[in-house]
């Protein structure tokens, strides 16, 4: 039902992002999706990768503060208003959405969205009822 997302604490200093992504590249880990939330002081880098557990180990070994959490990956129908409808399905059930970003799984013909919500179970039920396709396990 869920996929693994890595969150990495990064100070806003130049070159840090390049460093982190090269840790991934050196370990032969593919980054499928990425988002950065930041203030003037620090940021949180969110990553969807093909080998999340290995990536977590590598980043920790590189001295970074990292966490791994379950997020929902939902396929959005490729039509006008598709995204809005999907979001509405979730918000109608009173589930708060904290952030959303796009990612492209391996061999996929269209984009998926990573959804971080206040209540995973409720959101999944709502999305399924709405007929959405969810990604799970390690199929990305």
Partner 1 sequence: MENRIFNKEMECMSRKDMEALQLERLKALVDYCERNSEFYAKRLAKAGVTADKIKCLSDIEYIPYTTKDDLRDTYPFGMLSVPMEDIVRIHASSGTTGNPTVVAYTREDMEHWSEQVARLAVAAGATKNTIVQICFGYGMFTGALGLHYGLEKVGAVVVPTSSGNTEKQLKFMRDFGTTAIVATPSYCMYLAEAARGMQDKYPMDMYKLKYGILGSEGSTPEMRAEIENHWGNGFFCTDNYGMSELNGPGMSGECMYRDGLHINEDHFYCEIIDSASGSVLEKGATGELVVTNLTKRGLPMLRYRTKDITNINYEPCKCGRTSARMHKIIGRSDDMIKVRGVNVFPSQVESALIGMTEISPNYLIVLRRENYSDSMEVRVELIDGGLLDRYGELVALQKRIQDNIKNILGIAIKVTLVEPNSIERFTGKAKRVLDLRNQ
Residues that bind partner 1 (CB under 8 A): 7-11, 37, 39, 41-42, 44, 63-67, 69, 98-99, 116
User: Minimum distance from CB of 100 to partner 1 (Å)?
Assistant: 13
Let me know: does 136 contact 3? Beta carbons within 8 Å: yes
In this complex, which beta carbon is closest to partner 1, that of residue 12 or of residue 30?
12
User: Minimum distance from CB of 81 to partner 1 (Å)?
Assistant: 28
CA 45 to chain centre: 10
In this complex, which beta carbon is closest to partner 1, that of residue 22 or of residue 69?
69
Length of the chain: 140
In this complex, which beta carbon is closest to partner 1, that of residue 10 or of residue 125?
10
d(CA 3, CA 109): 19
User: Minimum distance from CB of 50 to partner 1 (Å)?
Assistant: 20
Tokens of residue 59, six digits: 């980043």
In this complex, which beta carbon is closest to partner 1, that of residue 30 or of residue 65?
65
11: number of Cβ within 10 Å: 9
User: Minimum distance from CB of 64 to partner 1 (Å)?
Assistant: 6
Spatial CA neighbour of 66 closest among 111, 5, 108: 5
């Amino acid at each position: 039902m869920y996929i693994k997302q890595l969150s990495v604490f990064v100070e806003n200093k130049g070159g840090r992002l390049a460093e982190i992504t090269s840790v991934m590249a050196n370990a032969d880990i593919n980054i499928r999706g990425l988002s950065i939330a930041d203030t003037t002081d620090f940021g949180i880098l969110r990553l969807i990768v093909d080998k999340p557990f290995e990536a977590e180990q590598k980043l920790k070994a590189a001295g970074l503060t990292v966490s791994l959490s379950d997020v929902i990956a939902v396929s959005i129908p490729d039509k006008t208003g598709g995204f809005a409808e999907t979001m509405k399905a979730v918000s109608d059930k009173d589930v708060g959405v904290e952030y959303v970003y796009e990612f492209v799984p391996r061999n996929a013909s269209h984009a998926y969205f990573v959804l971080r919500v206040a209540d995973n179970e409720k959101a999944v039920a709502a999305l399924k009822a709405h007929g959405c396709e969810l990604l799970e396990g390690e199929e990305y």
